Amino acid sequence: MILAVASGKGGTGKTMVSDSLASVWQHPVLAVDLDVEEPNLGLFLRPEPVRDEAACLEVPVLDPARCNLCGACAQLCQFKAISLMGAQLLVFPDMCHGCGGCMRVCPQGAIQKGQRVLGRVETGLTASGIRCLTGRLRIGEAMSPPLIAKVRQHLRAMADEAALDVIIDAPPGVSCQAMMAVQDVNVILLVTEPTPFGLHDLRLAWQAFRSLGKPMTVVINRAGLGDEGVQSFCREMGLQVLMEIPFRREIAEHYARGGVLAEFDEEMRDLFTGLARKIAAMAGAGGHHA
């Protein structure tokens, strides 16, 4: 079973819901932070590091001795990673998306494989046995999707190896990064807040993810704030609101100290245990990793 915790709007409580669900999950679980530009799930789950490795993208390296300036590579590249300027072939590895096309079209074998470090892939284990996996984008790196793809490869390997359920803390928004995080999951949980901003971005997320045909459900954070717009939208679209987290100062303080909300008090633990059960039921009879 793979669950993605997503939202249109940032700062609605994805990480808070993800870490709480992981902490009450009945089956052995892997908690994955796919928000590689600013991963923060580890701040709450506090895993002991297990592995930490570099993730790289294959980029072109020019062998000028072989290059005859035919320009086939520059013509093929859609990202201006290679440019033929007069009698010089220029390579900009930062621009490369790693398609490998230049290496294939070069008739001289003048383009060798090099590597650009995208970031790190880190795994860990918490004291209570939650396995953790995250990507961490290198500072200065502009492209997060290739790193997210690498983390997803690790995700599949780790989940298959130990028959783990998976909870993904997805990046905010509805761009490539978020779409990558919610594909191949069994359930998408949208965390929102009952404000016009929350509603606007919830609608965007619902529209973007709807095309995937996955079961979607909603958790409303900061309930009691704002207006009824989110509730009406969910009713209208047939989105079930599985849980509401009240807008309370003590909850914010607990979170700001790095606390897991499900460990705030017994009421919260029960709420999240109930939420976990409902999600597992939505994911299907077995509720286990497919």
Partner 1 sequence: MILSSIRRIAITSEGPTLENAVDPRFGRAGGFVVVDLESMATSYVDNDSSQVLAQGAGIQAAENIANAGVQVLLTGQVGPKAWTALQATGVRVAQGIEPMTVGEAIARFKAGGFAFSDAPVR
What residues line the site for partner 1 (CB under 8 A)?
A: 79-81, 83-86, 88, 90, 92, 94-95
Reference 205, options 182, 230, 175, 174; nearest CA is 174
What does the block give as tokens for 158? 């780790």
Identify which of residues 90 and 225 has a Cβ nearer to partner 1 in the complex: 90
Coil, helix or strand at residue 200 = helix
| Closest distance of CB 83 from partner 1, Å | 5
Reference 96, options 117, 70, 110; nearest CA is 117
Identify which of residues 90 and 252 has a Cβ nearer to partner 1 in the complex: 90
| Closest distance of CB 79 from partner 1, Å | 6
Identify which of residues 86 and 286 has a Cβ nearer to partner 1 in the complex: 86
Identify which of residues 81 and 159 has a Cβ nearer to partner 1 in the complex: 81
Tell me the torsion sign for CA atoms 100, 37, 202, 287: positive
Reference 21, options 287, 271, 216; nearest CA is 271
Q: Which residues pair with 112 in a beta bridge?
A: 61
Identify which of residues 147 and 282 has a Cβ nearer to partner 1 in the complex: 147
| Closest distance of CB 75 from partner 1, Å | 11
Q: How far apart are CA 225 and CA 244, in angstroms?
A: 11
Compute CA 6 distance to the chain's CA centroid, rounded to the nearest angstrom.
8
| Closest distance of CB 82 from partner 1, Å | 9
| Closest distance of CB 94 from partner 1, Å | 8
Identify which of residues 78 and 211 has a Cβ nearer to partner 1 in the complex: 78
Reference 122, options 50, 178, 184; nearest CA is 50
| Closest distance of CB 81 from partner 1, Å | 7
Q: How far apart are CA 36 and CA 151, in angstroms?
A: 9
